[in-house]
Amino acid sequence: MRKKHLPANPDYGLRLKKIREIYEMTQKEFAANIKLSSSAISEIEAQANYPGYTFLAKLYENYNVSANYLLFDVGPPLLDDNKSLDDFDFEDKEESIRNILIEMEQSPLLTLSVVAYAENFLRTNRELIETDKAIRLREKQKKQESQGKNSIEKK
């Protein structure tokens, strides 16, 4: 098998093995949970094959594995499902988005991952997103009404 293009930090196979060992699973057990063959896991751990988007999505969905950690050794190996929007600093979101866009310009893999993740998230969470939009719109309208009443009372 011919090696495919590898990422800038090529130790992703060792990091996948570390994650599998965190879960105390064999390659066969680990692979079964994400509906792959144990040979597919073996090839990725041996770096004979590169993990694609579908594989990364399955790792996240089944094991909470961070693609940033697996591919680039950045951040924690496992993502925390208990984080909420309250933990997100919305004040810095524009700067965060700018930084992500700069990174995406330099990495087609990151661009593919972000777009694919966003499309999947939108597709699978449409109802949640619409509910969130409605709640935020109501909050904004209440705030505007409250500000309007306050300005009338001051006069």
Residue-wise pLDDT for 59-117, tens only, equals 888 888 888 888 888 778 888 755 544 555 556 677 778 888 888 888 888 888 888 88
pLDDT bin (cut points 50, 70, 90) of residue 1 is very low
**Residue reference for tokens 């930084």:** 99
Q: Where are the domains of the chain?
A: 1-80
Query: With pLDDT > 70 as the criterion, what percentage of the chain qualifies?
Result: 81
What pTM was computed for the model? 0.50
Which residues have a Cβ under 8 Å from the Cβ of 25 and sit 6 or more positions away? 33
pLDDT at 6 > cutoff 70? no
Angstrom distance (rounded) from CA 58 to CA 61 = 5
Q: What letter represents residue 27's amino acid?
A: Q
Show the tokens assigned to 9.
Answer: 């930090």
pLDDT, position 92: 64
In the predicted model, what is the mean pLDDT of the chain? 80
Domain 1-80 sits in which CATH superfamily? Answer: lambda repressor-like DNA-binding domains (1.10.260.40)
Please answer whether residues 99 and 74 qualify as being in contact, where contact means their C-beta atoms are separated by less than 8 angstroms: no
